[in-house]
Every structure is written in C-alpha cells, then in structure tokens.
Structure 1
Amino acid sequence: MDLINVNSYLAGHWTPADAGARAIFSAVTGDKLALAGQDAIDTQAMLDHARLKGGPALRAMSFHDRARMLKALALELGKFKDELYALSHTTGATLADGKIDIDGGIGTMLVYASKGRREMPDRHIYVDGDLEMLSRAGTFVGQHIATPLQGVAVHINAFNFPVWGMLEKLAPTLLAGMPAIIKPATATCHVTEQCFRRMIESGLLPEGAVQLVAGGLGNLLNRLDYQDVVSFTGSAQTALMLRSNPHLLENSVRFIAEQDSLNASVLGPDATPDSPEFDILVKEAVREMTAKAGQKCTAIRRIMVPEALLGPVGDAIAAKLATIRIGDPALETTRMGALASSAQKSDVLDKARQISAECRILSGNPETFEVDGADKTKGAFVAPMLLACDDPDAAQAVHAVEAFGPVATLMPYRDLAHAGELLNRGRGSLVASLITHDPAAARTIALSSAASHGRLYVNNRDSAGEATGHGSPLPHMVHGGPGRAGGGEELGGIRGVMHYMQRTAIQGSPDIISGITGTWIKGAAKPKSASHPFTRSFEELAIGDTIEAGPRTVTLEDIEHFAHFTGDTFYAHMDEAAAKANPFFPGRVAHGYLLLSFAAGLFVEPAPGPVLANTGLDGLKFMKPVSPGDAISVELTVKRKTRRTDEYGEVRWHVAVLNQDGDDVAEYELHTMNAYA
C-alpha cells in the first residue's frame, strides 16, 4: 500500500503534507501508513476565508436552506460508506465499529437536517421562547431571538471517531449558519480527510464553509475573538490546556468541551440472576468494553452491582468476554479490533496497571491472549480486562483513572444510596446507566446522581428491544456532562445549534418585533384582506393579513343540541343552579368546543381553493365564558408561513374569538397547508 499523503484544505486550496508532517502508523500492522501536517499554515488567511466568504454565504441562506444542504450532504456521503469502512480498518476498527462511526455521523447529520426543517423557521432569525409583555397596554413587548455568530467555529476532534466526531459538530454548526475549521486527531486523520474530500467534491457547500487542518493549528487560537467558538473533544488535560489560553479568556471566546469521564452502570437491587435485567447488564457491559475496543468517551468504566451479585455478574461477564475474538478488523470473524495506535496501547496498559493495584483481575491477561490474522506484538491489540474492586469506598484510582480502552471495574454496593455515592465519585460523567424494572429505584438514582451526569440511561425488559445502548449519544439529546466530563452540552437537538448563535433580547412595539421576527404578534398591524385569505395562495398571503367574521348569537338551543349530539352533558352546560354554584361561571354556558365549531363556520371558505387541509391547532385558551344570548365574532390573522414541499407550505393563523363587547373568549393557533400559486 502506497504511503498516504493526508492533505489539509486551507482557504479553499488542498495543501499536501510537507517537511513538518508527522507519520501515522497502521493500528493493525504497525507499518507506516501516512504523513500528515504542514510546517507552517497561514492562519489569518484561513480565518479571513471563513469570516469573509463562508460566513456571509451561509448566513444568506435560511435555516431551511441550510437544513436541505445538510440532508443532501448526508445522502452524498452515504454513497462512500464502503470506502470509509475499508480505510477505518487501518485504525483498528471492525466493520461494526466503522458503522458506529460512519453511519452514526451521517445519521446525526440527517437528524439535524430534519430538525432544522421541523423546528426552525424558513427565515434567518430564530425566535427563542414566548413573547414577554413589558407594558400594561401591550405597546412595549420583548422577545428573545438568536442569530448566527459572525466568526468561525474551530472543531478540535478526538482520534476515536474520525467521521462521527467531525459530522456531529459540523451539523449544528452549519445549520446555525457558521463556518467551521476542523482539526482532527492526527492518528486517524486520514479517514477524516477522505470523508471531508467527498464533502468538498460534492459541491454542496458554499466556498469557505469548511476547512480542514491535518496537523497543528499553529497560532490560530490566538487570533480568535468573541464571535468565534472552540468546540473540543478529548482528554481533560488537553481541554484544560486549551481553555486556559489567555487570549481565549481575555476575549471571552466560547469554549465547549466534551472530555473523558468514568461512566458507570448500575444493576438495580430488584435484579436477580434469572431476571432479564441481569442479562441486559451483562450484554451492555460486554458491548461497551469491546465496541471500538473500548475507545468510546461514553463506554462503561465502572459496573456497580448489589453485593450478593458481585460473583454471579463477574462470572457472567467474564464468560462472555472469553468468546470475543480479537484480530485483524478486516476479518468477518473478528469481534474486537486494535486500539488506534501503539501510543494508545501503552497508555491503556499503564492506566490498567494503576487501577488493578486496587482490584482483582477477573478476565483478560494482557500477555496471554490470541489475535487472529495479525501479529499482536506489532499491532495495537489489547485483551478486554474485567477487574473487581471489593472495597470501592477505600479505592482511589478506580474512581479517578480512566483506561481509555477495553477495561472495566466491577464493584459491589450496599443499597441505592451507596450506589449513588459511588456514581458521583466519578466527579462528573457523560453518562450513567441503570438497569432496573423498578421506577422507584430509577427515581432514587435520578435524584441522587442526575446532577453529576449529562445523561441517565435506564434500560429493562420493556425497553431493551428498542433501546439504543448505554454508550450511544443521540443527536436529539444532550451529549456532555459536568465536572470532569467538561461542562459542555454538544448535540441536544436545537440546543446544540444554539452554541453557534447569539441569543439577544429585542424590545419594542408589536409592529417592530413582528417586523424583525417575521411572525405576527398580538398588537401588531392587521390589514384587512380585500379577498378571503382562504382564496389566496401561499405566496399571496402576507403576514398580518386578517379576516373578521360574525357575529353569531349563541342560543340555549345551540348549547343543548351540542350537548346531546356530542354526549358532553357536563353540568356547567345543562344545570343552571349547579353552574351558578361554580366560581367560574355565571350560569349555564356554551361548550368551548361549540365556540370553536361556530368560529370555523364563520371564517371557513367552503369552495375548493388553495387551502388543502387543516392539520391541527396549538395553544388553545378559553378566556371568558359565553352565556346564552351572547354574540361571538372571529378574527383570523396570518401569523407565519413556512414552505414545506415543492407543492405546498404551512400557514399558521392566530384565531381570536370575541364576544359582543370585544372581549377575548378564546384564542388558538390554527395550522393549514396551502398550495402555491
């Protein structure tokens, strides 16, 4: 195999490795595989390229434009999975490991594309939260908005996930409208570069939206300012060094860290050796020790079980580990490949020795294990090691030292309070899991230990068939954790996008706020439509367009007919004396849903037209009762519009139902799908 020259992509140009390059070695054979890095890079040119070209091009796109771009990019990368799997073998990754990395990264990008279309507007400003009424009459109001930061996001990624690590940061960054400079770990950057190259070749990204540094960042961090972001994944020591950079501190540069952590799994006290939960714990522990050869920031490092089950659990896990075939990851029979490098192997073995000083070895002699299809003395192979710590209260290293590989420690707990104390001795973790069928046990652990973890994963016989696994961060949910885990929150749906945006409070009149956000709000202008809004296409409707309809008098006969027709004979509608005894009603009143039906009858245009369907309503409030003899009117106002397909878009209408005195009796938001012209 020819030596790979890993290129950087700097300021729009591919730059090969030069005299300043570092060698990359195969994790399987130990042979020199690639060269990566440059002697010097023009960091200011990179920043200018991102800030002056990439940023403006991305910000010119709406959130939906960027979401569509992400979807197209993910689908394009899906065409090249096989070549990325093959290249990943050189990092020690099996096909299953490669799928976690590559398919997981592509899947994360697709989730963000979907969330961008469903949860963000087809505009350039994101409205964050509800409107705040800042004055008595409502002429002065406030709204939080979010807009893209106008700098660059610097992504510093770890070696263990060369594709997912890049894509899981890139998806929310690009959706936010911010360009990125990606710095992968050198040991596996040849895989990252191949994936990145396919992104550039796709032509789907604006010029300057992404750059790749295969090597050192030079003085890049010292050139960042308050509009920039650093997002880091790696060791706590490296994170501390980076976040302590005086320039970053002086300029309040956002720093997001996802660090190593001593994640743990707890077997609930309700489990027995013959229970499904016992088997689930064993399966989860073995999978987390061996997937990616234990090189996952979310892998289980500590396993806590009831005292009486220490022996049975240890025996069961050790028996499963004995069946794991270690070898060349390209072989179909291999269940666990190599660590990413010989340096990583040395580090794992050193950390395992520190931990084992407080433990017994139950499984995994580092010297006497077999490797299929490769020379274990040349490759970075390590046997999965299961240790047992009989006195976890006295132990120190077990709760402080992480062997970033296939090493886990089993320990007993006395009761759930003790289990919670042991969990928290990790001093902040990305994830803890609890295997239990007892909701009370889950609540106890949540109360005692949620504050020390970014994620709590509870699994049992009911959820096991669909549960994604202890070690699987999902783009929908927060990925990060307090304390040792770094204090960051990567991912988390739109929460992840907000890392790359500025939240700003805007204040002004309803017309001003509506003009900024592109969403009609109560109190803003409502021009009356010359024609019925339901007769106008999606494009013809303008924000604020309003139709007024009514009045219609509500009679006692209407109320009684509705009650008998629907079966809703609640006393407030049918019994005058009982209704008057209720502090909310003056006597018999109309059903709330009768008012909605009458409102629809007032504003609906019955003839076929651009309105294709009513898809629901939100925020329904009944504000004042309607008595027999009252007359209701309705105001229907275009609140916001969102394109959905090539044929139709969604219109959200503010609906206000008023009585004869002009008082609001009901309000809600109506959703319709409207055809384009």
Structure 2
Amino acid sequence: MSEIVGQTPATSADVGRRAAARAEPRLLIDGELTSATDGEEFENFSPATGASLGVTAAAGPQDMLRAIDAARRAFDETGWSTDRALRRRCLAQLQQGLEDEKQEFADELVAEVGCPTMTLRNAQLDWPLAESLRYPARLIGEFEWERTLCGGGLFGERNVRTVVQEPVGVVAAICPSNFPVEVILNKLGPALAAGNTVVLKPDPNTPWNATRIGRIIAERTDIPPGVVNVVPTPSNDVASLLATDPRVDMISFTGSTAVGRALMRLGAETMKRTFLELGGKSALIVLEDADPVAALRSAVGVCVHAGQACAATSRMLVHRSAFDDMVAGVASAFDAVPVGDPASPDTLVGPVITATQRKRVLDACTRATVDGARLVTGGRSVESLPVELAGGHYVQPTVFVCEDPDLAIAQEEIFGPVLVMIPFDDDDAAIRIANNSAYGLAGAVLSASTDRAMAVARRVRTGAIGVNGGMFYGADAPFGGYKNSGVGRQCGLEGFGQYLETKTIGSRIPRQH
C-alpha cells in the first residue's frame, strides 16, 4: 500500500508559517479592508497537519448586507458598467498585482488547500494566472457589444433594430476549496470584464487566497469601491443572503450538486440568473486498441490532489479483453503513487480538505464493499504517519472493480483518490455505461484510432472530453456540464456571455421630406 514518502526540508509546517506571516485576514467591503462588524473570526486549518494556520474575519449578516449594498451602488451609480477602458486598465493592474505575489499565493495554496506543489504548475496556479484575466480583458476590445439588424422583417426598411449586450448587474461569486485561485479568477475575470460588480464568497476552508486578492484590488488597482467585495464566512445562513437578496442579480457557483440545487431554489424567488458548475463522475474509456501505458498514466490522474477535482475521471471503462491485465497494472501503479506532505516536490497525493471529507470517502469505500464491489487496493486512511502529519486527512489511493455500473460507488461523486474500474464488451456498451450517470461534466477516450475515439467522444453526454490525451482546459474554452453537473458554461465566449444581458432596441427612421 502507498504510504507517506520521505520528508524534505520544506514541510507543510514550514509553508504554513510562511503563509500565516503574509496572510490577509480582513474583509473587503466598499473599497475598505475591514474586520467583521461584530469582531468575529474563524480559524483556518491545514489539511496536511490539522493544525491552525491562523484566523480570518468572519462576515456576519451586517457585513454581507453591506457588501451587497456596496456592489449594488457601484453598479448603479458609477461608470464601471459602461467604461470599458477603465475595466481593461483595472484588470491589467490586478494581473500585475497577482504576478507580484505569486509566491505568496503558492504558499497559501499548499498551506490551506493542501494541494501538492507539483499541481501549482498547472490548474492550481500557473494556468489561471497566465490567462484567466488576460483573456476576458482582451475580449473587452474584441467582443461585439452591439449589432444592427437593418431593414427587412415585419416593419420594412425604415425599422432598425440594435441588439445590445449589457452586464447582468451584481454577481454573487461563490467558490469551492479545491481549486480556489483558478475558480475565483475564472469568475472575476469575465464578470468584471463584462461590467458587473461582484460579491465574492470563498470557501471557509480556504479563505486566504480570496482575501489576498481583495487586498491587491484595494491597494494596487483603480477598481472603484464596491465593484469587488470579499466576504468569507463559515455561516451558511450568512452566505444564503446572496441567494435571497433581491439586489443580487446573478449567482455564479462552483461546488457540489446538492448545494447548487439549494442555491437554485433560493434564487428562484427573485428570478436570479444562475450559473452552476457542479459535480462529476466522469468516465475514462479505454478501447481495446489503446496504448496500455497511456491508459495507466490516465488512470493515475484521479489521484492528483487526492481526487478533489470535479472533472476527475473516476470511472475507468476498459474493454473486457484487456480488463484483467489493466486492473493489475492500475493496482500496481496506485500502490506506487507518492502520498505525503503536499509541500514535498515528490508528492502526488496530499490530504483531502477536512476530516469530515476523509470520513465521507472512507464510508463510501466501506459501502462499496458491502454492495459487492471488489476492493483491489487502498480503501483506508494512510497509516504510519510522521508525527508532524498525524493530524492530517490522508486517504490511500484506492481501486475498486465493479461489474455492476449501477452500484453507488460507480454512480456517486466521491471526491477522493478512488477509481472504479468497469469492463465493457464493445463501443456501444462503453458509451452506454459512460452515459449511465446523473452527471455529465468531463471524460476521456483512448484508442489507437483518432477517428474511432472521436466517434465515441461525440456520443458521450458530457460537457468536455479529451481524446488520446487532448486537453480541453483553457480560458478561451467553455467548461461546464450536462445533467446534474451544472447549468451554463465557464470560460470562453459562452462563459463571457453568462455575465451579459441582451437588449433589443427598435428605432424608426423618419421619412425624408
């Protein structure tokens, strides 16, 4: 079984101390960095060690209402929604501020998220920092904000219609703990570029990346007061004000399907626009002619960041002719995966975010065994932890074989380093099993024939899918899900459009005398 790898001089305790020394604990409301009105704070804990990293201001009801009011006034009473040149300049300033504090962001991600340092080079930090603000900033100058429908139609040549794209208004951006910088920037970028104002509510398990962004906005940019407000809170009641307050026009949420449903219900009373990027149970389809080495490499992907990725391919569908060999290969690979302190450059699997989440993962593994799935490897907490990691939340990389694709372990999102392997007999069966899910977020297909893999990919009901290692991620590429995986798209032109309203103006050309 995989166990903790050897420690390096840089440990999570070291990184946590560095992060705590530079952390921003304050809220940002109406341009002011401030403590909570009632003085309340909450602790930020390291998932790697279980120790407290420090505290963050805990927004109460008054703080949340003040933030909503500030965002409303900034949208209604300032030129932010109409001044595109100002928005481009401010996003460039924010970009520079983020780059100047890249190391601090990296420390905080390792400390409070528990993500392995190797993930900083991709979706945790480097990728969003490279393009999540730059792409929507560029769209400000390139986007077709207006188009004219001249003549024709029911009312003749003298009737001109102008189609105008305008910002939605006040956006509540509610973000998760697993990829906080990536999600925050991919919400802030298009929302601000489109001319909206924002109330940002980070996950209470990972508040410091958001509060750092708030401080950079306050100190390093010309973004007017109230345009961005950052209000971390551990209270669901306080957070729910974003969904019920009529001054909020849109909810932009990334997180679990259960919470997404609740927000949709709460927001329905005031007819809020809702963008939801939710859970997944994505399928990796390995056709019988696929490269087995590539298949093993793809299988291990569910272990990255301890499986805490909504797009993780947590179901591996393998042609029956290669199934037994692939199970043995995957089990060996999972046993060899480096599990340990996320601060170590060798670690692939760090902790899950909380003790509660670890229990959910382990309970799902226990239930799977009772239901009849075969445990191949893993399924337990990591044992023999070094004393400095004893309070952390580690789960062994886990593989199940499941002949019945309807079992809970093959249907429910686990959000841990757990892979379910399912055999299939032909391409139609693989597609049927892949689509036998309440989710439809991502996926992958491997085959020696690109045409065959593409044909399979086109039939899988999912919002994004990779073929033979192809990467669908990018600020210019729409991302989101079918079915219970969400409503709407993040990134790309489609994601930019989420933050816009459409107005059609008809005007009559007077007759010339």
TM-score > 0.5 by shorter chain: yes
User: Are residues 1:169 and 2:187 paired?
Assistant: yes
Question: Structure 1 runs of 4+ off > 6 angstroms?
Answer: 2-5
User: Are residues 1:53 and 2:62 paired?
Assistant: no
User: Are residues 1:34 and 2:57 paired?
Assistant: no
Aligned equivalent of 1:349, options 362, 365, 370: 362
* Cα pair 1:230 1:254 within 8 Å, conserved: yes
* Cα pair 1:11 1:49 within 8 Å, conserved: yes
Correspondence list, 1:460-475, <5 A: 464=469, 467-468=470-471, 473-475=473-475
Give the equivalent residue in structure 2 for 1:413.
424
* Cα pair 2:33 2:218 within 8 Å, conserved: no
Aligned equivalent of 1:104, options 127, 138, 158: 127
Give the equivalent residue in structure 1 for 2:96.
75
The one-letter amino acid of 1:191's match is N
Give the equivalent residue in structure 2 for 1:387.
400
**Partner Cα separation in structure 2 for residue 168 and residue 222 of structure 1:** 20
What RMSD in Å do the two structures reach over aligned CA positions?
Answer: 2.7
**Partner Cα separation in structure 1 for residue 54 and residue 91 of structure 2:** 30
The one-letter amino acid of 2:412's match is V
SS at match of 1:200: helix
Correspondence list, 1:471-490, <5 A: 473-490=473-490
TM-score, normalised on structure 2? 0.86
* Cα pair 2:242 2:248 within 8 Å, conserved: no
**Partner Cα separation in structure 2 for residue 13 and residue 254 of structure 1:** 28
Corresponding pairs, count? 483
Give the equivalent residue in structure 2 for 1:256.
275
The one-letter amino acid of 1:198's match is I
How many angstroms does 1:15 deviate by? 2.7
**Partner Cα separation in structure 2 for residue 105 and residue 204 of structure 1:** 22
Give the equivalent residue in structure 1 for 2:10.
none
Give the equivalent residue in structure 2 for 1:364.
378
How many angstroms does 1:391 deviate by? 3.3
How many angstroms does 1:86 deviate by? 1.4
* Cα pair 2:400 2:419 within 8 Å, conserved: yes
Relative to 1, partners in 2 of residues 1:218 and 1:391: Cα closer, same or farther, differing over 3 Å? Answer: closer
Correspondence list, 1:662-673, <5 A: none
How many angstroms does 1:92 deviate by? 1.2
Give the equivalent residue in structure 1 for 2:504.
505
Give the equivalent residue in structure 1 for 2:343.
330
**Partner Cα separation in structure 1 for residue 151 and residue 329 of structure 2:** 57
How many angstroms does 1:5 deviate by? 7.2
User: Are residues 1:495 and 2:494 paired?
Assistant: yes
How many angstroms does 1:75 deviate by? 2.9
Relative to 1, partners in 2 of residues 1:387 and 1:374: Cα closer, same or farther, differing over 3 Å? Answer: farther
Give the equivalent residue in structure 2 for 1:284.
298
Relative to 1, partners in 2 of residues 1:199 and 1:226: Cα closer, same or farther, differing over 3 Å? Answer: closer
The one-letter amino acid of 1:252's match is M
The one-letter amino acid of 1:453's match is T
The one-letter amino acid of 2:303's match is T
The one-letter amino acid of 1:145's match is V
**Partner Cα separation in structure 2 for residue 39 and residue 293 of structure 1:** 32
Give the equivalent residue in structure 1 for 2:220.
202
How many angstroms does 1:190 deviate by? 2.0
The one-letter amino acid of 1:14's match is L
The one-letter amino acid of 1:508's match is S
How many angstroms does 1:7 deviate by? 1.9
* Cα pair 1:73 1:204 within 8 Å, conserved: no
* Cα pair 1:134 1:141 within 8 Å, conserved: no
Correspondence list, 1:634-645, <5 A: none
Give the equivalent residue in structure 2 for 1:13.
32
Relative to 1, partners in 2 of residues 1:163 and 1:374: Cα closer, same or farther, differing over 3 Å? Answer: farther
Relative to 1, partners in 2 of residues 1:132 and 1:120: Cα closer, same or farther, differing over 3 Å? Answer: farther
**Partner Cα separation in structure 1 for residue 118 and residue 222 of structure 2:** 29
Give the equivalent residue in structure 2 for 1:231.
252
* CA deviation map 1:620-649 (0-9, x unaligned): xxxxxxxxxxxxxxxxxxxxxxxxxxxxxx
* Cα pair 1:67 1:112 within 8 Å, conserved: no
The one-letter amino acid of 1:457's match is G
The one-letter amino acid of 1:112's match is P
User: Are residues 1:433 and 2:444 paired?
Assistant: yes
User: Are residues 1:88 and 2:115 paired?
Assistant: no
Q: Percent identity?
A: 24
* CA deviation map 1:314-361 (0-9, x unaligned): 222222223322111122232322112222212222223233443222
Relative to 1, partners in 2 of residues 1:355 and 1:111: Cα closer, same or farther, differing over 3 Å? Answer: farther
Aligned equivalent of 2:320, options 301, 307, 316: 307
* Bigger Rg, structure 1 or 2: 1
Aligned equivalent of 2:413, options 385, 396, 402: 402
User: Are residues 1:241 and 2:262 paired?
Assistant: yes
* Cα pair 1:44 1:223 within 8 Å, conserved: no
TM-score, normalised on structure 1? 0.66
Relative to 1, partners in 2 of residues 1:39 and 1:476: Cα closer, same or farther, differing over 3 Å? Answer: closer
How many angstroms does 1:35 deviate by? 2.8
Q: Comparing both structures, which one devotes a greater share of its residues to strand?
A: 1
SS at match of 1:321: helix
